[in-house]
């Protein structure tokens, strides 16, 4: 197993105090050789966390197929230092996948000691209201008007990893590591989407009211009441 660690620029685009102390939060993302936790393997886990005034990136890479067990053991021991994990669709894929790989190795690890914040699950009930064409991360990025270019997909990198296991070529290694790093660094770009459930799930107070008299299509008076309400929360992009 290869371990890489460094400090990174991790832009705080969302008030983390709504979730918890920054020191208690762990962003994570995994790379695998397939969708099935039974028939494929895990080869990379990347995490971003806050310590000593800086954001840090740590990545554990399985440089051989035999390294997967060590990778899982290292990650779950590291997880004990945090109370909340943050991810995109991790409740649907990453977490069940990791649990299946632990089961395959007869390892007793689980996520029972941490809270899980799934950005995908949190925003899914508001997809129709916000007019999101899909729940893919790219659709959320486009809604928030942010740009991030992915040179490779996770699926494309499966073959890259297989080639790496044969050649141990540094160029292939760098491709695999950089993709995972970019995914984690891209996490702050979609965090502002959490402002929408924050905004919509809080109580509003009446700020202003207007009694309006307009004409309908037949020229008759049409009366309406316009209420302006606020709740102290802001959203990055308007919606109707």
User: Domains plus CATH for the chain?
Assistant: 2-200 (3.30.420.10)
Per the rule left: phi > 0, alpha: psi between -120 and 50, beta: everything else, 103 is: alpha
Task: Return the structure tokens found at 157.
Answer: 């990198």
Q: Which residue has the tokens 């802001």?
A: 234
With a CB cutoff of 8 Å and minimum separation 6, the contacts of 109 are: 72, 73, 76, 98, 99, 102
Task: Please write the tens of the pLDDT for every residue from 102-133.
Answer: 999 999 999 999 999 999 999 999 999 999 99
Q: What is the pLDDT of residues 155-201, one digit of tens each?
A: 789 999 999 999 999 999 999 999 999 888 888 889 999 999 999 99
pTM recorded for the entire structure: 0.88
Residues 220, 168: Cα–Cα separation, whole Å: 79
CB-based contacts of 123: which residues, under 8 Å, 6+ apart?
130, 132, 135, 140, 193, 194, 196, 197
For 212-224, what is the mean pLDDT? 88
What's the rounded Cα separation, in Å, for the pair 59 and 181? 8
């Amino acid at each position: 197993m290869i371990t890489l660690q460094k400090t990174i620029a991790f832009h705080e685009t969302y008030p983390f105090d709504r979730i918890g102390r920054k020191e208690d939060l762990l962003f994570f993302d995994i790379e695998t050789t397939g969708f099935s936790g039974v028939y494929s393997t895990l080869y990379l886990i990347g995490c971003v966390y806050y310590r000593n005034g800086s954001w840090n990136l740590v990545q554990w890479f399985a440089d051989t197929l035999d390294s997967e067990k060590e990778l899982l053991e290292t990650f779950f021991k590291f997880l004990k230092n945090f109370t909340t994990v943050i991810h995109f669709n991790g409740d649907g894929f990453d977490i069940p996948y990791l649990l299946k790989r632990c089961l395959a190795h007869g390892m007793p690890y689980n996520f029972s000691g941490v809270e899980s914040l799934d950005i995908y699950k949190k925003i899914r009930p508001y997809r129709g209201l916000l007019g999101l064409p899909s729940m893919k991360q790219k659709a959320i990025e486009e809604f928030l008007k942010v740009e991030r270019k992915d040179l490779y997909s996770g699926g494309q990198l499966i073959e890259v990893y297989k080639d790496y296991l044969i050649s141990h070529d540094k160029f292939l290694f760098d491709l695999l590591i950089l993709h995972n790093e970019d995914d984690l660094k891209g996490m702050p770009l979609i965090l502002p989407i959490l402002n929408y459930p924050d905004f919509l799930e809080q109580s509003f107070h009446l700020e202003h009211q207007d009694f309006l008299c307009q004409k309908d299509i037949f020229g008759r008076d049409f009366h309406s009441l316009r209420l302006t309400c606020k709740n102290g929360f802001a959203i990055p992009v308007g919606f109707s």
